[in-house]
Amino acid sequence: MVNRKITVLLCLLLLSAGRLPANESFSARTERERLRAIQPVILHSEIIPAPALVPSAHASTIVETDDGLLAAWFGGTYERHPDVSIYTSRFKNGQWSLPVMVADGVQDESQRFPCWNPVLFKRENGDLILYYKVGPSPSTWWGEYKISSDEGKTWSAMETIPRGCLGPIKNKPVIIPGGKILYPTSIEIPGKWNVYMEMSNQDLTDWEKIEIDNNGFDAIQPSVLFHKDGALQILCRSKNETVVESWSYDNGKTWSSLAPTRLPNNNSGTDAVTLPNGLQLIIYNPITSGRNKLAIAGSYDGRTWEKLIDLEDQPSGEFSYPAIIRDKKGNVHVTYTYNREKIKYVRLKF
């Protein structure tokens, strides 16, 4: 009873001091204070070496392997240039390897298209899958993938994702109960952005498309979170100045209509991950315009969010399109675009 009185007094003091929004419930206010007690620590931070003669880098992805971390991104003269290809680099023994090109958009001797948005994923048999897009623009691209059975040292020939599906559009897929792969994806065509989901077997057969009511929002690039009650949540980029969400209570078969969260969005990509203790993390630009700030926010229930740490807070520049994962040792790893020239890597402890 005494502890409850102290908590109530603390919330009243914080409310009067302006630290808690007046329209929040008591439980949300106490949840926010619980989140504020989290003290993330940056353990390592560096720029991944850039490939020689490749001036632009964007849209990174990262995965843990048995032979160190593996990151990938697209790089070339500039986004949309036909020479844009997929590059990878490995973090092992404390350093990143020189990047190597692992996929391109060459069609034949006379035609080449840019590559886009690689996504690295490890399926249950240990194989790595590198998903990526190829095509002149996001409205005309298609999905391709390669498979590696040696932790990303070599890759198979390119395979095309079945027509009508695209695979993960920016953020990592997840394995859901029953063993299927659930892909957060979207389309962006003139006049229409639309979030939906796809599903396949782990041998990448039997693809299916799962519609979501976008509820009037222009949204793309979802990421998937797991909740203790078995619910799934997606968080999406939007043109509506807010991260938008949807929930599923049947392992991704059906989804609620998109709805706004209290997280700002600047119409730029985000990513998210669930930690074993139930803490949900989103890495995002905590602003509604510009890309000069980048942060990580946390939540336990997926509804009350609190910014936990700033990774970039500069008067200008672009820090965008992040990726976030947790490794087997409990470290959190992120990569993101650094001024459209390089990819930056950060390791944290929560």
Q: Do 262 and 238 lie in a common domain?
A: yes
Q: How far is CA 75 from the centre of its chain?
A: 18
Q: Could you tell me the mean pLDDT of each successive run of 10 residues in the chain, 350 residues long?
A: 44 42 70 95 97 96 98 98 98 97 97 98 98 98 98 98 97 97 97 97 98 98 97 98 98 98 98 98 98 98 98 98 98 98 98
Q: Do 23 and 93 lie in a common domain?
A: no
Q: Which domain covers residue 32, as residue numbers?
A: 1-37
Q: Do 193 and 213 lie in a common domain?
A: yes
Q: Do 121 and 240 lie in a common domain?
A: yes
Q: Do 117 and 258 lie in a common domain?
A: yes
Q: How far is CA 53 from the centre of its chain?
A: 27
CATH number at residue 243: 2.120.10.10
Q: Do 178 and 225 lie in a common domain?
A: yes
Q: Do 250 and 157 lie in a common domain?
A: yes
**pTM of the entire predicted model:** 0.92
- pLDDT, tens only, 50-82: 998 999 999 999 999 999 999 999 999 999 999
Domain count, the chain: 2
Q: Do 196 and 262 lie in a common domain?
A: yes
Q: Do 23 and 104 lie in a common domain?
A: no
Strands 128-134 and 342-349: unpaired
CA distances from 177 to 94, 181, 230 (A): 35, 9, 9
Q: Do 32 and 42 lie in a common domain?
A: no
Q: Do 7 and 46 lie in a common domain?
A: no
Q: Do 11 and 71 lie in a common domain?
A: no
Q: Are 340 and 64 in contact (CB under 8 A)?
A: no
Tokens coding 306: 């609190």
Q: Tell me the C-alpha distance between 105 and 117, whole Å.
A: 13
Closest CA to 348 of 329, 326, 332: 332
pLDDT at residue 71 in the model: 98
Task: Provide DSSP, 160-184.
Answer: EPPTT----SSSPPEEPTTS-EEEE
